[in-house]
Amino acid sequence: MTRSGVVALAGRPNVGKSTLLNRLVGEKVAIVSERPQTTRRAIRGIVTVPDWQMVLVDLPGVQRPRDPMTGRMQSRMARELRDSDAALFVLNGQQRTGPGDRYIARAVAAAGVPALIAVNKADLLDRARMAAALTEAEALGLEEAEIYPGSARTGAGFKPLLEALVAMIPPGPFLYPAEERTDLAPSVRVAELVREQVLRRTRDELPHAVEVEVDETEERPDGLLVIRASIWAERESHKRILIGAGGDMIRQTGTAARREIERVVERRVHLELTVRVRKGWRGDDAMLDRLGIE
């Protein structure tokens, strides 16, 4: 008999949920950045072995909604958590727990699903800080949740965590074909890889005000995949930053994104990027629908 189920990865922004997801899946499914609000959609990574399949959902980091976009992100987080078979609450062991962590703990408890706690970045902690991190995790109020220290970056300590998660998923048929690693549409996955490179090259408010949309793909007879995509900004000043002096920034972004896309699609890619401006798009429900931010 096989087992299959959905595990929600919950946690504050930038605790390492996306890195952990990629580590467990074995390939890059979710983009990774030090910027808050990196994960805007519920990203699913699929782990399949002969007798079980686990669907890991990287939820948007919990934060107080500031606009319709972040409001949608938090609604999606709560909905996915309720619909999961189990939850993995990820903490950053380098940081003290705070109101955000206690809010998530209450949300996990309210969802009524079995839960585990992962204390991430254990490889960067000395003995005293590790002891403090474990004590703080215990104090969050999820009394039946076992705690697993480890490192999403190196993979250390996560074998027993994975075994515990597998034990929590119910018997049942696989939810996805065994060869699939994510249910993200190819266009969304490409757009996320482009946005990742924007995040790495910008700062302050600009990363939050940028989204990427794939406009068109074309397969050439010689095997070349042509992708045309738009980088959406909220202000003309943002557009100038994204393009850079003499187009330098957009060229660097495009080159780095193309390399990442080629690793995923395993073929040659020609990437064309255009920067467009739509004022206040984060508060525009029609635009959010178009971009797939539910």
Flag whether pLDDT at 193 surpasses 80.
yes
Is residue 291 classed as helix, strand or coil in its secondary structure?
Answer: helix
Per-residue pLDDT, 41: 63
Task: Give the distance, in angstroms, between the CA of residue 113 and the centroid of all CA atoms in the same chain.
Answer: 21
**Other CB atoms closer than 10 Å to residue 291's CB: what's the count?**
20
Residue 5's H or E segment, with its range, is strand 3-10
Nearest Cα to Cα of residue 89 among 64, 69, 61, 54: 61
Q: How many domains does the chain have?
A: 2
Tell me, yes or no, whether 115 and 152 share the same domain.
yes
Residue 73 domain boundaries: 3-168
> Under a CB-based contact definition with an 8 Å cutoff, are residues 184 and 46 in contact?
no
- Assigned token pair, 276: 């467009």
pLDDT at residue 28 in the model: 86
Q: In the chain, pLDDT over 70 holds for what percent of residues?
A: 90
As given in the structure block, the two tokens for residue 44 are: 């699913």
Q: Across the chain, what does the average pLDDT equal?
A: 89
Look up residue 282 and give its amino acid.
Answer: R
pLDDT beyond 60 at 37 = no
Q: What is the CATH number of the domain that holds 253?
A: 3.30.300.20
- Helices within 202-283 (DSSP H only): 236-243, 248-265
Q: Judging by beta carbons within 10 Å of its beta carbon (0-12, 13-18, 19+), is residue 12 exposed, middle or buried?
A: buried
Residue 181 maps to a domain: no
Give a yes or no: residue 117 inside a domain: yes
What is the structure's pLDDT at 39? 63
Question: Does some domain include residue 174?
Answer: no
Q: What are the tens digits of pLDDT across the range 130-144?
A: 999 999 999 999 989
Which pLDDT score, from 0 to 100, does residue 206 have? 72
Question: For the residues 216-230, what does the mean pLDDT come to?
Answer: 96
Task: Kindly state whether residues 134 and 259 are assigned to the same domain.
Answer: no
**pLDDT recorded at residue 64:** 60
Quick one: pLDDT at residue 1? Answer: 86
Instruction: For residues 207 and 199, give the distance between their C-alpha atoms in angstroms, rounded to a whole number.
Output: 6
With the C-alpha atoms ordered 128, 134, 140, 141, is the resulting torsion angle positive or negative? Answer: negative
The DSSP code sequence of 94-112 is: TS---HHHHHHHHHHHHHT
For 162, counting Cβ atoms within 10 Å of its Cβ (0-12 exposed, 13-18 middle, 19+ buried), the class is middle
- Residue 62 is predicted with a pLDDT of 55
128: in domain? yes
Summarised one tens digit per residue, pLDDT across range 246-282 is 999 999 999 999 999 999 999 999 999 999 999 988 8
pLDDT reported for residue 46: 95
- 239 pLDDT above the threshold of 60: yes
The domain that contains 79 carries what CATH number?
Answer: 3.40.50.300
pLDDT digits (tens, 9 = 90+) for 50-100: 999 999 998 775 556 666 666 666 777 777 788 899 999 999 999 999 998
Decide: 75 and 62 in contact? Cβ < 8 Å: no
Q: Are residues 96 and 134 in the same domain?
A: yes
Size of the chain, expressed as the number of residues it contains: 294
Q: Which residue has the higher pLDDT, 27 or 251?
A: 251
Task: Indicate if 164 and 199 belong to the same structural domain.
Answer: no
The C-alpha torsion from 208 through 58 and 49 to 117, rounded to 10°, is 130
Cβ burial, residue 253 (10 Å; 0-12/13-18/19+)? buried
pLDDT at 293: 72
